[in-house]
Amino acid sequence: SDLLDEERSGRFQDSVSRRAKREPVQYILGTQEFWGLEFAVTPDVLIPRPETELVVESALHAAAGNPSPLLLDLCTGSGCIAVSLAKEVPAARVFAADMSARALAVARENARRHGVSDRIRFLEGDLFGPFRELDIRAQADIITANPPYVRSGDLAALQPEVRDFEPALALIAGPGGTEIHQRILEAAP
């Protein structure tokens, strides 16, 4: 059996200490699998959840029969939805937006990692705001989003891994939990 050298032993001890403080394993390792792909994750983005793959499935179903759909991904975070769709629909035109410049940096890295960075345009801003200048909102074939959905009063009850480590900007929607969804529906073409 091999013994860990001092550097690897130190990294291991640091990882154990971080996990003992309830930091999510995905942030410690820096990755999370989604749609069969490995995505970089940092505390600047939500950790992609398996149930979010349903958004990708629904978008692919909606794209069936359209060889080059125009896709808008709102609240892109790590870019897991936009990147997965760009991989699955090679002729798609994909635009992804997020309010967080730091989240967009992670999303751009994920697009590079999976060879689709030349096919996704990342824009900083709130919901449909960044698309106004491009005048493409009304041309969208498919709009995807995994917006904040937690009621502000429920934050304290969330498990520590979520409450203390995942970005509140990507979690908290407002008092009712559906405020961002309502804004998307009201502004959607």
In the structure, what pLDDT confidence band is assigned to residue 18 with cuts at 50, 70 and 90? confident
pLDDT single digits (tens) 34-70: 999 999 999 999 999 999 999 999 999 999 999 899 9
What global pTM score does this model have?
0.93
Quickly count: other Cβ atoms within 10 Å of residue 77's Cβ.
Answer: 29
| Torsion over CA: 55, 60, 61, 67 (sign) | positive
Residue 60 and residue 81 in contact, taking contact as beta carbons nearer than 8 Å: no
pLDDT single digits (tens) 76-96: 999 999 999 999 999 999 999
Residue 184 and residue 74 in contact, taking contact as beta carbons nearer than 8 Å: yes
In the structure, what pLDDT confidence band is assigned to residue 1 with cuts at 50, 70 and 90? low
User: What is the Cα–Cα distance from 76 to 145, expressed in whole angstroms?
Assistant: 7
Over residues 88-113, mean pLDDT: 97
DSSP state of 2: P
User: What is the Cα–Cα distance from 137 to 128, expressed in whole angstroms?
Assistant: 7
Q: How many CA atoms lie within 13 A of 23 on its CB side?
A: 16
